[in-house]
Amino acid sequence: MSGLSSTIAPPSFSFRSQLFHQNVYTTSNSIIRCCDDTARLNIKPHEDNGSASFPEKNLLLNPAAFKKPPRPRRIILVRHGQSEGNVDEAVYTRVADPKVGLTEQGVAEAEECGRKIRKMIEEDGAEDWKVYFYVSPYRRGLETLRNLAKAFERSRIAGVREEPRLREQDFGNFQNEEQMKIEKAVRARYGRFFYRFPNGESAADVYDRITGFRETLRTDIDIGRFQPPGKQSPNMNLVLVSHGLTLRVFLMRWYKWTVEQFEGLHNFGNGKMVVMERGYGGRYSLLMHHSQEELKKFGLTDEMLIDQEWQTIAKPGELNYDCLITGPSYFTHFDDDSRK
């Protein structure tokens, strides 16, 4: 509910039609003129039609003349700090998942993560850097954000967007602890990606909503939504504060990893981060920040690491025609001679 004490019913269709066809109609105190009177009154409309406030309009109205802003320096994925549910799964039988908060240790983990992010950014040596946050609306996500952000002055924070599509995988409503143990055992046999919890989601369902978020994020990057026109800098850093599985699915979707490769990944630690950093050609690669050993521990295979090496030098829009993830690995049963 909006909180209003009363509701005003909208005018009937016939009444609205009458108003639409009248150029001028009166109230008890004033005269209200419709928009087509602006020509007679010599009122000059805004020529940009609000495009200064909504940069995506520039892209739509005049794509050829639209100059893309610099891409952010990094996309930093942060898993929330330790939550009450991480310590005691019985919490979920009493508290709705979106309302589960951080422990004292989780608060400390979030604060430490913020300090690490700041240190990493400052090592670039740039003076005009800023951070922009996307955050899950779950309590533990918001509490992680608020404690992580203690490392930054307000002037360094370009903005925050609460993003429901970054929420945790839905495991159902109030959960039966014993039944959840059974469901997780079934999931292990069925497959972690496709198994859907009763009244909840599968990782495949999360993939679908993350696909929508990824398109929003790419549009935000393309139009430079993070900073005003004329003040855009390549030293922007995007921080996604979310949940373990959701962030693994995000990486899967971004880099086009297979279901088998996803199921080989390990969860982030609480309050830990994975960094996608802009490479030499403009694309984002995990190898710009992480070592191969770190990424192998996370679960990346040799084929995935080879693709990450390509990401470090490739340009946006280029395709990796030799990618072992999306090409030859599907056709290893072919005899090479038969294709000559």
Q: What is the mean pLDDT of residues 58-66?
A: 60
Q: What mean pLDDT value characterizes the chain?
A: 84
Does 312 reside within a domain? no
- 138 DSSP assignment: S
pTM here? 0.79
Does 157 reside within a domain? yes
Does 153 reside within a domain? yes
Binding residues, by number, are: 79-86, 140
Distance CA 223, CA 55 (A): 6
What total of structural domains would you count in the chain? Answer: 1
Does 106 reside within a domain? yes
Does 162 reside within a domain? yes
pLDDT > 60? residue 32: no
DSSP of 169-212, one letter per residue? PP--SSPPHHHHHHHHHHHHHH-TTT---TTS--HHHHHHHHHH
Does 58 reside within a domain? no
Does 138 reside within a domain? yes
What angle, 0 to 180 degrees and rounded to 10, lies between the N-to-C axes of helices 302-313 and 244-255?
Answer: 70
Binding residues for substrate, by number, are: 79-86, 140
Question: Would you say 175 and 94 are in contact if contact means Cβ atoms under 8 Å apart?
Answer: no
Does 254 reside within a domain? yes
Read off the pLDDT of residues 1-12 as tens digits, 9 standing for 90 and up.
434 433 434 444
pLDDT > 70? residue 22: no
Full residue range of the structural domain in which residue 171 is found? 74-278
CATH number of the domain within which 83 lies:
3.40.50.1240
* Structure tokens given for 202: 């599968």
- Alpha helix (H) residue ranges in 224-298: 244-255, 259-263, 292-298
Residues designated as active site: 80, 168
| Angle at alpha carbon of residue 98, lines to 298 and 136, rounded to 5° | 55
Greatest Cα-to-Cα distance within the chain, rounded to the nearest angstrom = 88
More confidently predicted of 319 and 248: 248
pLDDT > 60? residue 292: yes
The count of residues in the chain is 340
pLDDT at 340: 52
Q: Is 242 left (phi over 0), alpha (psi -120 to 50) or beta?
A: beta
Read off the pLDDT of residues 160-205 as tens digits, 9 standing for 90 and up.
999 999 999 998 877 777 888 888 888 888 888 999 988 899 999 9
